[in-house]
């Protein structure tokens, strides 16, 4: 995370106390481990897989993602601090111990936010997973995600790791409404989903001929919180668009911490208008590399 913060100049924003305070983010994933880096900021946990009430993460993906987004780096003296370390966290377990999720569980998690989001001050929803099939027939999932967007939530989803061919963006990242994140640095071989690969970031266009992803963020070899099962209160590296997604979610938390009145559409336009054009194909980069510093400066005008 230190490297990510350097690439995006996040520490200069943190020095000005721009850390996502008073903003709650919901993370739909494998759950969360009660890592010290989250402090007392896990304000709600809900298990849609096994129905347990105790906080847990039996895979580790959700803990890692949440650490990138909102860990405060306590156990590393700030070295592995996340993007929005003062944001509150709602963790919704919709994926099992293999990191696999049933569509019904994911939709149940989305509906829980629809019913309870205001109660917990949820503004941002992070979805660091997706399903990929060429038929793209996950209509119910897309409809649920877009309903949540239409209610005003900022939804950020992964482009998936099925690239580099055209039309490989995962669902629900293929939704035209939400913000879809690709990997900035997937040109280097890394272990992603248990396989050594590169150029893996999902590419558009979608089935509906929408250009995706929308934005790129670092994705390779990112150290973040472990789930403690084998490694205690430590940190582990992971790679993929799952890791890029919470970076963007964290930036949005910081932005909403400055201006709570910004709508999801305004947030999306802000990402677009401040992105750094990398001169890649549109179906590879979207608008380009996320530019947190310029986004913050724009909000302060």
* 3-class secondary-structure state, position 155: strand
**Cα–Cα dist 217/215, whole Å:** 7
Give first-to-last CA distance, the chain, whole Å: 29
Structural domains of the chain ordered from first start: 2-300 (3.40.50.200)
* Dist CA 37 CA 21 (whole Å): 15
Q: What is the pLDDT tens value at each position of the chain, 301 positions in all?
A: 878 898 898 999 999 999 999 999 999 999 999 999 999 999 999 999 999 999 999 999 999 999 999 999 999 999 999 999 999 999 999 999 999 989 999 999 999 999 999 999 999 999 999 986 655 458 899 999 999 999 999 999 999 998 899 999 999 999 999 999 999 987 777 777 677 778 889 999 888 888 999 999 999 999 999 998 666 679 999 999 999 999 999 999 999 999 999 999 999 999 999 999 999 988 899 999 999 999 999 887 6
Q: Respond yes or no: is residue 64 known to be catalytic.
A: no
- 35 flagged as catalytic: no
CB neighbours of residue 230 within 10 Å: 9
14 is a catalytic site residue: no
For residue 169, the 8-state DSSP code is P
- Token match 């400066």: residue? 297
CB-count burial class (<10 Å; 0-12, 13-18, 19+) for 276:
middle
Catalytic residue among 91, 170, 175, 242: 242
CB 77 within 8 A of CB 44: no
Q: Is the pTM of this model over 0.85?
A: yes
Distance CA 236, CA 222 (A): 8
The catalytically annotated residue of 29, 57, 72, 88 is: 29
Residue 108 token pair: 């149940």
Q: Which of 35, 37, 57, 61 is catalytic?
A: 61
């Amino acid at each position: 995370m230190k490297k990510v913060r350097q690439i995006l100049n996040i520490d200069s924003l943190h020095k000005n106390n721009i850390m996502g305070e008073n903003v709650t983010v919901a993370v739909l994933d494998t759950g969360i481990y009660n890592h010290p880096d989250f402090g007392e900021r896990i304000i709600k946990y809900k298990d849609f897989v096994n129905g347990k009430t105790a906080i847990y993460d039996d895979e580790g993906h959700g803990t890692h993602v949440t650490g990138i987004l909102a860990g405060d780096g306590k156990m590393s003296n700030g070295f592995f601090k996340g993007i929005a370390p003062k944001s509150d966290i709602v963790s919704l377990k919709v994926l099992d111990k293999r990191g696999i999720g049933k569509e019904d569980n994911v939709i149940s998690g989305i509906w829980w936010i629809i019913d309870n989001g205001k109660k917990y001050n949820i503004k941002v929803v992070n979805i660091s997973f997706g399903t990929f099939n060429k038929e793209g027939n996950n209509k119910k999932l897309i409809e649920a995600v877009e309903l949540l967007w239409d209610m005003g939530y900022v939804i950020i989803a992964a482009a998936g790791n099925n690239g580099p061919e055209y039309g490989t963006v995962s669902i629900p990242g293929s939704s035209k409404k939400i913000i879809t994140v690709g990997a900035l640095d997937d040109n280097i071989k890394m272990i992603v989903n248990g396989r050594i690969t590169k150029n893996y970031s999902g590419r558009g266009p979608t089935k509906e001929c929408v250009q995706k992803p929308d934005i790129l963020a670092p994705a390779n070899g990112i150290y973040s919180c472990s789930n403690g099962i084998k490694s205690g209160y430590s940190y582990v590296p992971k790679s993929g668009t799952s890791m890029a997604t919470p970076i963007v979610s964290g930036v949005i938390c910081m932005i909403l911490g400055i201006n709570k009145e910004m709508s999801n559409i305004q947030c999306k336009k802000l990402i677009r208008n401040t992105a750094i054009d990398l001169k890649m194909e549109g179906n590879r980069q979207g608008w380009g590399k996320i530019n947190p510093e310029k986004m913050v400066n724009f909000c302060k005008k």
